[in-house]
Structure 1
């Protein structure tokens, strides 16, 4: 996904969809592949991000003097930040193709997706931006030369949206982190595009500290991609999420309504994180296909080992009680 060809393939590959009622039954292999990919449920975070990105792209379309306003998607691990980011990027790519047509869009790259490498210096990060569009980087090139090439090529390719993931890895308190933050600031001022950042619990990291952090905080709106609560006023967002996922299952003997009834148990298993929930339901569906039961039950769910974060929440480690010793 961190190259233009890879992102273009992702954006243009048809999404997984449940077959229409009355259609020919799919083979076991087809259904295994379907549940491996599975559907992406439209969440409030995706809706909020899409709405805000569209608004900021319009807002900054003719802004040429200073950097355009940006967005930061934050939240705990497994809350669906990257999924939301990529879905909005896909929508932007497809909208651009519809507006301009394949011929007019040739040579253009409306969306860029870059990962911040661990402890990356400015030159390493600039090279990641170059790698996305296949810009040649010779061994002897300086950071300034790479940055100039990136700005020129991104402008020529008419990049409209730059998505920078794992931004929590930037630490402006360190020398390399400060240089990387300065590079991003430079890019936002030289490339006429909208920047969206995503990272784990960004507001608790050093990213917003100091002068550089204040500049970023003064330009970026925040979207909090939190875990799903069991209840929000009169609504039950977690149960609604489960219902949507259950409705996308392609299992012949599964009883509709089974999973929503298990909402309290599923919330306990996953702490309300959409990433853990999606993995649990996908693995349960694949298990049901392989063992031939074709349905998901609480027994099926209980037998599945989830990611370590979810397992720690569900089965918190308790220190064994120390035995008393007789010192008499």
Structure 2
């Protein structure tokens, strides 16, 4: 479904602030928002025929659209979400049995948070459709809760953040024990089944607060009827799965035993299957671009090697490069993506660091992002 330059961007999608996911109403706005509608693709002649006001409106529509291209269903996203469904749907044990937790552990820029939140959106919609927006007791149903950690967070801080998500009136004052009980009441009354804990790498496991919150996670797994989903970077190295710390304390062992690690990998181009996966992603992204001079194969054929060299296959960097390139193409009037234009686009430091290494490998033909052409064989 598309829309025209006459549509106003503010009428097409709700505004979402940076704190949206920290509160239940904001999460619902994200989960229940209608799909974004792709602007109509106009030719050069049609662009020139627009009035100045219509052109400004159309370009604003395109800016908003290109800034929100994802998520694209990559093999990595599909695989992660299949695993999430397996674990979450299998956690239907009776109340006397603890539920298994999930740790989504991957380097920055690989789309782990995007994939988890996309899954949470689907889970929210399924639960509301099957069970209704209100519980039998008349409370609002909130299938998903999310808490983002900050540095040196303690148990009381964590529970306060959880109460903040539910907008509980007792979220500002009380003891740590009272906060825990209020949080449990919210989970039970709202029939929350999925608790996402983002940025877990901020937790300092070997310090007092880290052990305190780790033990609290075990309490949640034992007492709260929810599946815990941890999201973070290098969680294994930071101690999530450690059997004991340097002092011999084994308080982390139970968390490790009950937590299933999941990950996401960057695109690789070391064989034809992986190259086909990368090409499929580029074709999917290409279809979403609203540039007057785009053509079939603009990304997947003309720019496959270039895009891989610039981003090393990290989907976050890929989407950023394409997004920024589209904005520059619109502003400059180029209305297409090519190497000359993308060379002007600045990218993250990690991508720029490996660019020269990859350029040398691609130039010497030791690497390529293009699948080998398949030859038609005549039947005997």
| Residues 160, 171 of structure 2: 8 Å contact kept | no
Counterparts in 2 of 1:136 and 1:296: CA distance versus 1, 3 Å: same
Hey, what does 1:143 align to over in structure 2? Answer: 176
TM-score scaled to structure 2, two decimals? 0.77
Offset of 1:315 from its aligned partner? Answer: 5.5
1:89-114 CA distances to partner (integer Å, 9 max, x unpaired)? 11011112222344669611001111
Hey, what does 2:185 align to over in structure 1? Answer: 152
Task: Identify the match of residue 161 of structure 1 among 194, 198, 206.
Answer: 194
Query: Which portions of structure 1, spanning 4 or more consecutive aligned residues, are displaced by more than 6 angstroms?
Result: none
Shifted more, 37-46 versus 74-83: the winner is: 37-46
Hey, what does 2:8 align to over in structure 1? Answer: none
| Residues 163, 171 of structure 2: 8 Å contact kept | no
Hey, what does 1:198 align to over in structure 2? Answer: 231
Please give the root-mean-square deviation of Cα atoms over the aligned residues, in Å. 2.3
Hey, what does 2:287 align to over in structure 1? Answer: 247
Hey, what does 2:322 align to over in structure 1? Answer: 281
SS in structure 2 at match of 1:252: coil
| Residues 72, 197 of structure 1: 8 Å contact kept | yes
Hey, what does 2:252 align to over in structure 1? Answer: 213
- Point out which structure has higher relative CO (alpha carbons under 8 A, 6+ apart): 1
Hey, what does 2:4 align to over in structure 1? Answer: none
CA distance in 2, matches of 1:231, 1:18: 34
The runs of 5 or more residues in structure 1 that have no matched partner are 317-328
Hey, what does 2:145 align to over in structure 1? Answer: 112
Number of matched pairs:
315
Hey, what does 1:134 align to over in structure 2? Answer: 167
1:129-171 CA distances to partner (integer Å, 9 max, x unpaired)? 1111112346551111101110111111000111111112223
| Residues 282, 299 of structure 2: 8 Å contact kept | yes
Hey, what does 1:9 align to over in structure 2? Answer: 29
The runs of 5 or more residues in structure 2 that have no matched partner are 1-20, 48-56, 245-249, 358-380
Offset of 1:284 from its aligned partner? Answer: 0.6
CA distance in 2, matches of 1:235, 1:49: 17
CA distance in 1, matches of 2:271, 2:196: 30
TM-score scaled to structure 1, two decimals? 0.89
1:43-72 CA distances to partner (integer Å, 9 max, x unpaired)? 233322322232223322133223201211
